[in-house]
Structure 1
Amino acid sequence: MFYREAGQFKASYEEDQQIFTIRQDRVGFYAILAFFFLAVPAFANQYWLQAILTPVLIFSLAAIGLNILTGYAGQLSLGSAAFMAVGAFGAYNFMLRIDGMPFIVAIILGGLCAAAVGIVFGLPSLRIKGFYLAVATLAAQFFIVWALVKFPWFSNHSSSGVITTQEIVIFGFAFDSPERKYLISLAIVAVLALLAKNLVRSTTGRAWMAVRDMDVAAEVIGIRPMRTKLQAFAVSSFYCGVAGALYGYTYLGTVEPEGFNLDLSFKILFMIIIGGVGSIMGSFLGAAFIVLLPIFLNVAMHSTLGGAVPASLAANLELIIFGGLIIFFLIVEPHGLARLWQIGKEKLRLWPFPH
């Protein structure tokens, strides 16, 4: 009975349109932020910070970008990893070629470069849709990776094409430890996630959803499909570009064009399908699921089977179980983990009364 809005009155339109309209939601949100900003860096070890939590945050940001395009605007895309590559190499070159370039400005400029490329590859959406558009955006995946390999200027003429990112320095303070890299990733992801949540609730987000549901009807009521679709491609690519810059700077440290391959694009697509299409919360849940489940299966396989199964067979069994769990989950709850979260909240608001 503690999760009720009884007695919480809203005296203005602004109060009624808050992201968290119930006081308990606001308290819970601030508690979660305090836990991840204060408790996690104090108690988590280096492995958890560097190998688990930081990639979950980065993939969550990329999933938010794809969710904006696919979940809210209804435009299928298979080029998310390519836009991440543009953001990573763009931020690297801005830091390399402009003396004194601040890190935050560099990743924003890298995201803007990805947004510009996204607009170019979003032009086919004006004529085609559905799986045909997905195939058209697939061209971005191959073309961008090819361009980054073909033109050595992007990798500062590295013979292998691999770039080593510069040190992160903000206001003279070096972010060189796993704790600090985790904190800067968390801060950027939290700010951009809140911006995305507000954006999809604004006039722009409503226009995206109108085009997604029925583009002809949206055009009849005055929404311009061309501007709306290209806007969705630009914002989505910007988020993926910033995620790519963080992927290089706060997670790996060294990246190559082939690291942003088609498998990574499919992984981000699976994140929003499992987490929930058209849900900012679902992007975080899907990223955590995709990143943590293989680790859990690996630990479980080695702890239960030990050395009884050859390593090659154990790896294949992990992939089989992982794929089977994804299929099972999509059959049981096709709307994703975000829908389960929503159902749980609705049941909690009615408890202990009959449903």
Structure 2
Amino acid sequence: MKKDKFYFSVSTNAFQIEGGRNLHGRTDSLWDWFTKTYYHIPPVNSTAREINSIVEASDFYHKYPSDVKILSKLGVDAFIYNLDWARVFPTDGTKINPMGIQFYDRVFSELVAGNVKPIPILFHWDTPMWAEIKGGWTNREILTSFKNYCAAMFKYLGKYTDIWFVNDENKSFTVDGYLTGQFPPCFQDENAFVKAVHHLALSGAIAKAEFKKAKELGYVSPDAILGIDDDWSPPVIMAGVDADQKLIDNYNAWMRDLWLDPNLKGTYPQEFLDYIKSKKLDLKITPADLKLLQDNKLDFIGWNFYRPYFITSKTALIPEDQLHRPPGKLPFGDFQIVLPKIIPTILNECDQLHPNTYKRVCKV
């Protein structure tokens, strides 16, 4: 990953394992609200989503010393971990909680002592509720608070590691949080969506600017790197539908490039700009915003690969008996995402990798 060094790592995040949700000054995040409001344990054999309590989780807050020993014994030499913004800044964007800093300092110290490199992620969906009630990522004011948060993390934890991530899976957070309503903050609002997308992109540039300052101040090593993590799913044209390079390109513009280009190239895909204009959405991307992105590009990409997505054009009509559920259509793009029942046959008989694309042309 860095200097030809391969790290065998595990990965998780604060709201999934820490527990200790109300201890030592911490206040609620967006996911505390969500799990309290929509708590649901589905019956056995149900495919419904489980929304469980995170009040205790696996109690990493108290058990991290033994957990780190387990990592060391397993031979794991890195630990990718989303920090909890609400534990460090529990009341607003200016007042640091000393016990929040102390907790992460102890965790990172324990990791380093166990020869496990900490690789922090600054933000993975758990917006503090004090920020969310002001609009969260739809409100540009969050960027000032995020800047302070980044500066504090680099100052107090920068001595422990030279690999950092700003954001993780912005696509899933914004699409499912601001368009489909499946994840918190549970919106179905295109204006909220584009604002959140842009402000998250700006947060990456702001973090990089603070990263540079931290290097100058000696908080972070000069060769430290700061990246962004994405969960792009490579597209596969569904069998029986004509392969179309334009469809692949359109899918990748929306499902890959939009989440990477602003922080790696300093630009947005034209499809996103056209969408804002055609829908008359309430978002202004200023020249100053673009300059901030251009001047503060991130250093590397992390890729969470879960699955490919089977896609067709939005106008394709697929018989219901060929799909597990209705096609997934989003307000943007020329594609729809489908889950065909014939996936095993398709995967076994994919035999031609189409050049210059990320799809396979499959026979059934």
For normalisation by structure 1, the TM-score amounts to: 0.26
Larger RCO: Structure 1 or Structure 2 (Cα < 8 Å, ≥ 6 residues apart)?
A: 1
More strand by share: 2
TM-score when normalising by structure 2? 0.26
